Amino acid sequence: MSDTDFVTDDDAPLPQRRKAANGDRWMVGLGLAMLALMLILTLLGPLIAPYDPSMTSPNSLAPASAQHWLGTDSIGRDILSRLIIGGRTTLLITVVAVCLALAAGLVLGLTAGYIGGAVDQVIMRVLDVIFAFPVFLLAIAVVAALGPTVPNLILTIAIVYTPILARVVRAPVLSVKSWDHVEAARSVGVSEFRLVTRHILPLAISPILVQVSLTLANTIFTVTALSFLGLGPPPPDPNWGGMLAEARQFMELAPLTVIAPAGAIVFATLTFIVLANGLREMLDVAGKR
């Protein structure tokens, strides 16, 4: 163990800091590139998928080959095609659900933060109740109660992730609303709605962006985990979690049947984590606590 001293933040010379900032912008770029790749693959899905994802063939559990880049599964379906088509469902649920959660979080967080008082208390205490459940447990319970269809999955995930987004929206609003420029705008007769959306929200946007990115990563986890347990979108639509679960029986015969969907899940999650970390450092959002 070397006895070098700790380098504290105070000791860091300025140029080094600027370099770090550039590095982080590079990270946002990487995240966006990964996202673009994923979106292109899934949006063009049916055009570039080499086979029909539900087409079976006698050539089952085949290893990677020129015909089947990622091999075939236990009933001879092409894994690459299933990954591409399965990504559509997973990403569709993820993106729509997070948009809904963000919309609800914005409305609740802005209302609670801006109006304050009793309204704030009521909204935040109700959200605390949802917050008390482990996210995944709540998701399982709601999906089990409603039934696993795509709209229900979207609704469930939106409910589960609304509290965290509402909290992240509310916190900066609480302080920004008492700043001078808000007072100035109010004094010249700017409407309440415009005040909140134009004068307060833009100053609170950085932590929201970071949290949305993290929530997208968490949602990929929740959707694929639910599908893994058989609570995902109903068959015959392929989905990553379901593919992973199905492959477990035969994985020692054809490791690729497990590794391929696992890789897809990790890639999707990693995309949003890279994006979140990059945004956090670039926008200088405190990541602690």
Partner 1 sequence: MTRLVLIRFALAVPILLGVSVAAFALMRLLPGDFAQAAAGSANVSTEMLEKVRRDLGLDQPIWVQYLAWLGDALRGDFGTSFVTRRPVTSEIGGRLGVTFELTALAALMAMVMGGLTGLASARFRGHTDWIVRLWNGLMLAIPNFVVGTLIVLLAGLYFPQIRIFYFVPFTEDPLGSIGSLLLPAFALSLAVSVTVSENTRAAVLEVASQDFVMVARAKGLRPRTVLRNYLVRNALTPVITVTGLQIAQLLGGSILIETIFAIPGMGQYLFDSITSRDYPVIQAIVLTTAAVVVLVNVLVDIAYIRADARVEG
| Binding interface with partner 1 (CB under 8 A) | 1-10, 125-126, 128-130, 132-138, 140-142, 144-147, 217, 221, 224-225, 228-231, 241, 244, 248, 251-252, 255, 258-259, 262, 265-266, 269-270, 273-274, 277, 287-288
| Residue 136 Cβ vs partner 1, minimum distance, rounded to whole Å | 3
CB closer to partner 1 out of 147 and 151: 147
- What's the rounded Cα separation, in Å, for the pair 187 and 239? 54
Torsion angle (degrees, nearest 10) of CA 99, 104, 106, 110 = 180
Least Å from the CB of residue 217 to partner 1? 7
In the complex, least distance from residue 184 CB atom to partner 1, rounded to whole angstroms: 35
Shortest distance (Å) from residue 246 CB to partner 1: 11
State the nearest-atom distance from the C-beta of 222 to partner 1, in Å: 9
**222, 281 contact by CB (below 8 A):** no
Nearer to partner 1, 180 or 252 (CB): 252
Least Å distance between CB 288 and partner 1? 5
Which one, 209 or 251, has the nearer CB to partner 1? Answer: 251
Residue (4 or 178) nearer to partner 1, CB = 4
Closest CB to partner 1 among 165 and 231?
A: 231
- C-beta pairs of 32-38 under 8 Å, 24+ apart in sequence: 32/275, 34/267, 34/270, 34/271, 34/274, 34/275, 35/271, 35/272, 35/275, 38/87, 38/91, 38/267, 38/268, 38/271
CA–CA gap between residue 24 and residue 205 (Å, rounded): 18
Report, in Å, the least distance between residue 162 CB and partner 1. Answer: 14
Contacts of 184 (CB under 8 A, 6+ apart): none
Beta bridge partners of 78: 72
Three-state secondary structure call for residue 257: helix
Phi, psi dihedrals of residue 133, rounded to the nearest 5°: -80, 140
Residue placing its CB nearer to partner 1 in the complex, 5 or 180: 5
What gap in Å lies between CA 284 and CA 115, rounded to an integer? Answer: 27
Min separation Cβ 140 and partner 1, Å:
7
Give 69 or 131: the residue with its C-beta nearer to partner 1: 131
Q: Is 4 helix (H, G, I), strand (E, B) or coil?
A: coil
Nearer to partner 1, 34 or 41 (CB): 34
For the beta carbon of residue 48, count every other beta carbon within 10 angstroms. 13
Distance CA 101, CA 167 (A): 12
Q: How far apart are CA 90 and CA 240, in angstroms?
A: 7
- Three-class secondary structure of residue 78 per DSSP: strand
